[in-house]
Amino acid sequence: MWLSRKALDCFIQISTNKKNVKTKDCKSEGLYPVIDQGQQFICGYIDDESKVIKISSPLCVFGDHTRVIKWVTQDFVPGADGTKILEAEKFIFPKYGYYALRFIDIPDKGYSRHFKYLKELEIPISSLAEQKIIADKLDDLLARVESIKTRLENIPEILKKFRQSVLSAAVSGKLTEEWRNSDSFGENIFLGDLISSGPQNGLYKPSSFYGRGTKIIRIDSFYDGEIIDWEKIKKVELSKGELDKWALRKNDVLINRVNSREYLGKCALVKSMPSECVFESNIMRLSLIEEKVIPEYIILYLCSEKGVSELRKNAKLAVNQASINQDDVKNCIILLPNIDEQKEIIRRVNICFSYSDKVSENVFIALSKVNVIAQSIIAKAFRGELTAQWREENPELISGLNSAEALLERITAEKLASGTIKKRTKKTSH
């Protein structure tokens, strides 16, 4: 027989009076970790011992605004407002209490406060012996799930390196070496000699002009050679003259001319024009002589490590940003094969990237399933499904004086004796 009890009645709230520390006051290194309600387990460090909460048994941190729940086993400093610290009552095995908080369905109210829901939502309570078994089983099963999740989360970085290796092979001639049946691969040529118009810097408009009108490509509108999510591209009000001057055309090449060094020079090819569109001031646009070069090949080249290096070789560095100008773009050296080999390179790269994209899609699906599996395992635990066989094999540990009911009666008696009255429990069964 299991019982249930209001979640907040299963914990003692630990006071953080005069101990809370704001994130802005944290350091990257220090004597004591600061744990708050954010997604990161530790948000920083401080050296002030007077702020430390010393613990003799593990505690739970509950994010009042975020609903984030953390399991803490070391002395720590509590973060700022919204960091609630909970210690399991005597009738709750501490790790069981942590998983119980993860189990209950706390409604998402945005950045409003959520701690109040612990007064309403109930936690299933089994005997202490079964609670420990459940916690141990969840530790084991969820560790396996987390291991799978970690491996899946590492795949995008592996795919990123794979794509770069494909591009490196493509622009060096290795990808088509067998197809070419020759040691000679292309010739070095300045990008400026392949340009029919441009480079042209984009349009600047004050923020008051944004919100409606014509779509405008910004630096966050493209990545890895492609424009992303056309429907979400922002709009800007333009005069006819502005639209005529900065309107994009199919096969235009876009190059980011001002950004942090990490993203400086990122490129995209305008493959289609679902609607009229212009481009903003920290982007350059150029058009190519398509009798000499296929635009898609130039994008592959400029997205490769070799191409990025060429674009950035004369970059001007400033605090937190870097820039390139039109001459820097024109002076990029391109290793250019003939048109037929360009076509073959594009075909082979697209096959490889298609494979990479498919793997990426499968990883995304798998990750979403992993998150569901973790919560499903916790739900099974609190329905008693993970310990059904254990209960059959150990009836003496869940009955009589060892039952959850007897345990709560003893704890309630202790509370009454000390002047504290606890609410009654509601029975549930499995």
CATH code for the domain of 349 = 1.10.287
Same domain, 61 and 16: yes
- The string of pLDDT tens digits covering residues 162-174 is 999 999 999 999 9
Same domain, 296 and 170: no
- The string of pLDDT tens digits covering residues 88-117 is 998 999 999 999 999 998 888 888 888 888
At 114, which CATH number? 3.90.220.20
Same domain, 317 and 251: yes
- The string of pLDDT tens digits covering residues 263-318 is 899 999 999 988 999 999 999 999 999 999 999 999 999 999 999 999 999 999 98
What pLDDT does 269 receive? Answer: 96
Answer whether residue 214 shows pLDDT above 70.
yes
Answer whether residue 8 shows pLDDT above 80.
yes
Answer whether residue 34 shows pLDDT above 50.
yes
What pLDDT does 425 receive? Answer: 38
CA distances to 8, 89, 139, 300, 410 from 415, in Å: 16, 11, 31, 72, 9
Q: How far apart are CA 217 and CA 199, in angstroms?
A: 16
**Residue 411 placed within a domain:** no
Q: Of 310, 336, 362, which residue constitutes the final position of a domain?
A: 336
Same domain, 226 and 284: yes
**Residue 413 placed within a domain:** no
Same domain, 197 and 164: no
Q: How confident is the model at residue 82 (pLDDT cuts 50, 70, 90)?
A: confident
**Residue 346 placed within a domain:** yes
What pLDDT does 427 receive? Answer: 43
In the numeric block, which tokens belong to residue 408? 């709560």
Same domain, 6 and 66: yes
Q: Of 314, 336, 358, which residue constitutes the final position of a domain?
A: 336
pTM above 0.85, yes or no: no
Answer whether residue 10 shows pLDDT above 70.
yes
Residue 298's domain comprises: 187-336
What pLDDT does 181 receive? Answer: 82
Same domain, 84 and 147: no
Mean pLDDT of 234-261: 94
Q: How far apart are CA 105 and CA 124, in angstroms?
A: 13
Residue 61 pairs in a beta bridge with 70, 85
Same domain, 302 and 248: yes
- In this structure, of 106-115, 198-207, 218-227, the range with the lowest mean pLDDT score is 106-115
Q: Of 290, 318, 336, which residue constitutes the final position of a domain?
A: 336
Q: How confident is the model at residue 386 (pLDDT cuts 50, 70, 90)?
A: very high
Mean pLDDT of 130-150: 96
Work out how many domains the chain is built from and give that number: 3
**Residue 409 placed within a domain:** no
CA distances to 102, 334, 368 from 375, in Å: 8, 52, 11
Place of tokens 């345990």: 407
Same domain, 174 and 272: no
**Residue 27 placed within a domain:** yes
Secondary structure (H, E, C), the chain: CEEEEEHHHHEEEECCCCCCECHHHCECCCCEEEECCCCCCCCEEECCHHHCECCCCCEEEEECCCCCEEEECCCEEEECCCEEEEEECCCCCHHHHHHHHHHCCCCCCCCCCCHHHHHCCEEEECCHHHHHHHHHHHHHHHHHHHHHHHHHHHHHHHHHHHHHHHHHHHHHCCCCHHHHCCCCCCEEEEHHHHEEEEEEECECCCHHHEEEEEEEECHHHEECEEECCHHHCCEECCCHHHHHHHCCCCCCEEEECEECCCCCCCEEECCCCCCCEEEECCEEEEEECCCCCCHHHHHHHHHCHHHHHHHHCCCEEECCEEECCHHHHHCCEEEECCHHHHHHHHHHHHHHHHHHHHHHHHHHHHHHHHHHHHHHHHHHHHCCHHHHHHHHHCHHHCCHHHCHHHHHHHHHHHHHHCCCCCCCCEEECC
Cβ-proximal residues to 244 (8 Å cutoff; 6+ apart), any chain? none
**Residue 403 placed within a domain:** no
Same domain, 292 and 228: yes
Same domain, 328 and 204: yes
Sheet holding 283-288, edge to edge: 195-201, 283-288, 253-256, 267-269, 225-227, 222-223
Answer whether residue 429 shows pLDDT above 50.
no
- The string of pLDDT tens digits covering residues 394-407 is 999 888 888 888 88
**Residue 410 placed within a domain:** no
Same domain, 195 and 327: yes
Give the chain's mean pLDDT: 91
**Residue 406 placed within a domain:** no
Q: How confident is the model at residue 424 (pLDDT cuts 50, 70, 90)?
A: very low
